[in-house]
Structure 1
Amino acid sequence: MKELRYLNKFLYKYRTKLIIGFFITITARIFALVAPNLVGNSVTLIENYVVSSSIELGELKNKLLLNITLIVGSAIIAGIFTFIMRQMIINVSRYIEFDLKNIIYMKYQSLTYDFYKNNRTGDLMNRISEDVSKVRMYVGPAIMYTINTLTLFVIVISYMISVAPKLTAYVLLPLPLLSFIIYKISKMINIRSKIVQEYLSKLTTFTQESFSGVKIIKTYTVEDSINQSLRVIASDSREKNMSLVKIQSWFFPLMILLIGTSNILVIYIGGMQYMNGEIELGLLAEFIIYVTMLTWPVATVGWVTSIVQQAEASQKRINEFLETQSTDLFDNIKKSDLDGDIIFNNISYTFKETNINALSNISFKVKRGEKIALMGDVGSGKTTILEILAGVYKPNNGKIFINNNDIKNISLSDLRNFIGYVPQSTFLFSDTIENNIKFGKAKALLSEVVLSAKTSCLDEDIKSFKDGYKTLLGERGVNLSGGQKQRLAIARALIKNPKILILDDSLSAVDTETEEMILNNMENTTKNTTFFISTHRVSTSKKCDKIIFLNNGRIESFGTHDELVKEKKSYFSIYSKQTQEKEIN
């Protein structure tokens, strides 16, 4: 139960509804217990009439009619209170489910990029759906049936002891054995429940990746191989589920056996006492009804135990990342303070997963409003520099200053609000083109959306679509070309009017003519914006104020285009090669 302590704050939050539900449960059980007593009384009346004629037929009819009326009335009242009880307690479970999903989603938003590199999307989806559903069963039905069972046991058994202690002792004889069996089986359920949830995550992850990569799967004609892999995972998952079900299946047969044993004891011991004149026949009938009433609550002990064990396994999986440290820092720097020069001072970064040293002792200064090109071979560290600046990664060593403010002391949300970032891999949402652009500025006017699209040379393409800016995109923008995706992502960044604009090889899918038009448009609309662009094209770097040329995670050259050409290092070689290719073409 240690993992489930996290839910105590939610139970306290909705304590009023739970307390009302608790007292209504007690009231409902009290009314439910009226019937057995009246049935026993009716049987005794009939026995007295048949055996000793101690009551007149007319009086018997009147008393039986009254008893029947009271039985029906108490059943109706008990039913109404039971309905209210469910509305109180089950509704609380839905409120807690809502709160927990929101907390998990907010936690997802605050976790580092490294967290998402180490955890699969399918597993994260499974935790916020399947695992939360398991937890909801604990704070809803499990609590409700536990209260119901405890209330019924206390009231029924107290009454049974008061009227026939010896018979009650025999009736309750199987219960300690039942408790021991539940304890042993519950431990096994807890272990197997966790394994089942883990395999469900694997299955969810595999299917999610298969759907996302269906184009690649079909292109490489590996459908049969993927289907075989799915069959293997599904088969393993089925085996684990069957292993869990086999243990769970012991509960109800054992309940029925033990309850049946109690009934036999009631009939045998009670019959002996009746023949000895110790109890009335009505009391024997009353006890049989009580045992029947206790059947379902006792049976639910196993079911509730199973729910609690599964909920604990699920909550443990949820707690694993709820306890993970979030990214943001809490020092307050005014947003206006971030508009200024940018300094990288001896920055180094090593990837934890591969231990690859991506950057070594990177130092440079960029003045406010300057345009900087980053060049170098694949894996030279261009993207890593831009992602560190955008707050995606934290450097292992060194410091970054923006307008003399150490980036470590800047709230990550404030930093990112100042930045317009277009990564290498463009992600678009399954929404309209307009809303995808407005993702960078939710309250933007349509005129602002159009202006951003014009700047990124996308406006004409959008107008050619039937629904224009209201065109609905498929998953990840599947109905757009690579160049259109990149230009839409650029428009999304531009609409923020960022103080720092980062394009990480974001023009690779457009031709040089379109690229030049976009850069010229941005020249006019982002005059006071500090601009970083990662590129392999000299035609792009020439338009920038400074060029940083990287080689194996280190700065090989830093300066203007003319300065780097005069150095005659790696940049000069690329410049010469691309110039010759342009002349040939």
Structure 2
Amino acid sequence: MKELSHLNKYLFKYKFLLILGIIFLAVSNYFAVWPARVVRYALDYVTESFGLYRAADGSAISSSLFDDFETGILILGGLIIVMALTRGFFLFLVRQTIIVMSRKIEFDLKNEVFDQYQKLPLSFYRKNNTGDLMNRISEDVTRVRMYLGPGIMYGINLLILFPMVIYEMLRVNAELTFYALLPLPVLSVSIYLVNNIINKRSEEIQESLSDLSTHVQEAFSGIRVLKAFVREMDSSRKFNIASEEYKDKSLKLTFVNALFFPLIMALIGLSIILTIYIGGNKVIKGEITYGNIAEFVLYVNMLTWPVTALGWITSIIQRAAASQKRINQFLKEENHIQSTENLDVDIVGKLAFENVSFVYPDSGIKALDQVSFEVSPGESIAIIGTTGSGKSTIANLILRLYDTTQGGVKIDGKPIEAYDISSMRSQMGYVPQDVFLFSDSIENNIAFGGDDITKEQIIQAAKDADLYDNIDDFPEGFQTMLGERGITLSGGQKQRTSIARAIVKNPKLLILDDALSAVDTNTENTILKSLARIMKGRTSVIISHRVSSAKLADKIIVLDDGKIIEQGTNESLLAAGGVYKELYDKQLKQEEEA
């Protein structure tokens, strides 16, 4: 229960629902126990009245005795019906309190987990896979809700009902109580063991279903590749294997489920047989009445589900504790990227790297080594280098997705750590190397970075990114819905949409991380002309492996293996005849050949 103690704050938050639920449970159980007494009264009344009626048969009072007998039966029957309806009403209220409470806590817990996900740094997502994150916010939270809802409800019901019923049974006969309850502990232990087997096999089925779903998703997502390489039959074969495995595990679970209810019914039947046999002997001896046997049978049936639920509840608690432990692991994760002064000010755009070194914490790879440069407000800088040279790491550090290992990054002369993170990032425009678009309209994707973006700004951003004509050709225009990860668009269109999204909010600092890698030379020239106008008056960082993109920049630095090996202007670097000149000549030759 240590891990589940995290939920105590939510139980306290919804304490009134929980308290009302307990009260309603107590009342409903009171009306569950009393009908057994009424049944006893009714049977004894029938037995005695029928004896009197037979003794007076043929006399003048026989008709009167029959009328009284009939009236009494109707009253007792009506009383049982009223109690049953009253109990049903309070059980409805129980579910409207305890189960509603569990749903509210589920809502709060999912939001808590999601908020935590939002706060955690990029390094967290590099070491945790998406499937695991999804499971913790869905499957694990659902298991916790089962403990908070049915687990608590049936657990409290057992604690309330059991003493009430045992008290009533002991009042009648202690020995008969012992024999009537004898099979119930065996029933509870059996249910617990069977439930564990069911849970284990259910988890195996879930894993198998997850593998099956992953295979189907990959087959549909990569259908172009499948068809291009004529691998449809191979994909079907793998699907059949995964499907066969899922079927076999499902049949094993079905077999265990088939044993579940017969086991319950056998042990309940044994309890009832013992009650009738022992009770019958006591009736013969005159220790109890016929009504007491019927009363005991009803009491045994009342205890059957709570005792059966004991094993089920134990299993639920175990699963919930395991799930909550997994959730707590993420909730205890701390975001080390915190603001030191929470500065919420407009940035001018001066950017400086001072002897910055950076090592990725998850892999230990040293991406930057003593990198220093400075960009004045309104200036632009191009960072050129081959794959793995550390270019994208610079973008991550400017956005403060990571903190430097050594050295510091400054904006407007102040350490980047001093700024309020959300305020600072909101004044930056970022085009990532790996373009991500949401399954939404093109308009909403472009307007994603701001709250008050007008239609005119969206259109202008699309024009600046050389995207407007493409959008205009779509039947739905800006309302065209994009598929998963923007699959509706070509690679170049996705990249230009990402550029439009970055520039629509008029950022003070614009970061283009290999933003033109998926467009052809003509489109690149068109976008570059637009960018030349857009970058005027704002600090811009152009990260690219193409020299053509660097021509726009006021300054250029060349990275290799995390170190600055050359820096200057386009003209000075060409004149120097170093690495930059080699890249320039090589790419120029490739363009001429193309």
Flag whether TM exceeds 0.5 (same fold): yes
SS at match of 1:104: helix
Q: Provide the C-alpha distance between the structure 1 equivalents of 2:212 and 2:109, rounded to a whole number of angstroms.
A: 23
Worse-matched range after superposition: 517-526 or 64-73: 517-526
* TM-score of the two chains, using structure 2 as the length reference: 0.90
SS at match of 1:343: strand
Which residue of 1 is the match for residue 476 of structure 2? 467
Which residue of 2 is the match for residue 22 of structure 1? 22
Deviation, 1:262, is 1.7
Deviation, 1:184, is 5.7
Cα deviations across residues 416-472 of structure 1 (Å, max 9, x unaligned)?
Answer: 212211111211111111111110113211011111111112122222222221122
Q: Provide the C-alpha distance between the structure 2 equivalents of 1:315 and 1:247, rounded to a whole number of angstroms.
A: 27
SS at match of 2:295: helix
| Among candidates 94, 104, 107, match of residue 116 of structure 2 | 107
Worse-matched range after superposition: 106-115 or 427-436: 106-115
Aligned CA distance change for structure 1 residues 183 and 352 (closer, same or farther; 3 Å): same
| Among candidates 323, 331, 352, match of residue 322 of structure 1 | 331
Q: What fraction of aligned residue pairs are identical, expressed as a percent? A: 44
Which residue of 1 is the match for residue 297 of structure 2? 288
Worse-matched range after superposition: 275-284 or 527-536: 527-536
Residues 368 and 530, structure 1, Cα contact 8 Å, conserved in 2: yes
1:427 aligns with 2:432: no
SS at match of 2:371: strand
Correspondence 1:123-522 to 2 at 5 A? 123-181=132-190, 202=211, 204-232=213-241, 252-326=261-335, 328-336=337-345, 338-522=347-531
- The one-letter code sitting in structure 1 at the alignment partner of 2:71 is N
Deviation, 1:216, is 3.1
Deviation, 1:115, is 2.7
Residues 251 and 299, structure 1, Cα contact 8 Å, conserved in 2: no
Deviation, 1:495, is 1.2
Q: Provide the C-alpha distance between the structure 2 equivalents of 1:208 and 1:127, rounded to a whole number of angstroms.
A: 20
Deviation, 1:321, is 2.1
Aligned CA distance change for structure 1 residues 129 and 569 (closer, same or farther; 3 Å): same
Aligned CA distance change for structure 1 residues 235 and 305 (closer, same or farther; 3 Å): farther
Deviation, 1:401, is 1.3
Q: Provide the C-alpha distance between the structure 1 equivalents of 2:94 and 2:121, rounded to a whole number of angstroms.
A: 43
- The one-letter code sitting in structure 1 at the alignment partner of 2:32 is A
Q: Provide the C-alpha distance between the structure 2 equivalents of 1:429 and 1:371, rounded to a whole number of angstroms.
A: 30
Worse-matched range after superposition: 90-99 or 1-10: 1-10
Deviation, 1:308, is 2.6
SS at match of 2:138: helix
| Among candidates 76, 80, 96, match of residue 71 of structure 1 | 80
Worse-matched range after superposition: 198-207 or 29-38: 198-207
Residues 358 and 380, structure 1, Cα contact 8 Å, conserved in 2: yes
Q: Provide the C-alpha distance between the structure 2 equivalents of 1:451 and 1:226, rounded to a whole number of angstroms.
A: 45
SS at match of 2:147: helix
1:2 aligns with 2:2: yes
Cα deviations across residues 28-69 of structure 1 (Å, max 9, x unaligned)?
Answer: 111122221111111101211334558932322221111011
Aligned CA distance change for structure 1 residues 348 and 103 (closer, same or farther; 3 Å): same
- The one-letter code sitting in structure 2 at the alignment partner of 1:154 is P
Q: Provide the C-alpha distance between the structure 2 equivalents of 1:105 and 1:182, rounded to a whole number of angstroms.
A: 36
Cα deviations across residues 300-326 of structure 1 (Å, max 9, x unaligned)?
Answer: 223333333333333333333222223
Q: Provide the C-alpha distance between the structure 2 equivalents of 1:310 and 1:481, rounded to a whole number of angstroms.
A: 46
- The one-letter code sitting in structure 1 at the alignment partner of 2:3 is E
Cα deviations across residues 139-167 of structure 1 (Å, max 9, x unaligned)?
Answer: 11222222223222121111111222221
Deviation, 1:294, is 1.9
Deviation, 1:99, is 1.6
Deviation, 1:237, is 5.8
Cα deviations across residues 507-554 of structure 1 (Å, max 9, x unaligned)?
Answer: 122233332332332333332321111223333212210011011221
Q: Provide the C-alpha distance between the structure 1 equivalents of 2:262 and 2:395, rounded to a whole number of angstroms.
A: 64
Residues 382 and 550, structure 1, Cα contact 8 Å, conserved in 2: yes
Q: Provide the C-alpha distance between the structure 1 equivalents of 2:583 and 2:355, rounded to a whole number of angstroms.
A: 27
SS at match of 1:439: helix
- The one-letter code sitting in structure 1 at the alignment partner of 2:29 is R
Residues 206 and 230, structure 1, Cα contact 8 Å, conserved in 2: yes
Deviation, 1:187, is 6.5
Cα deviations across residues 111-139 of structure 1 (Å, max 9, x unaligned)?
Answer: 23233233332333233223322222221
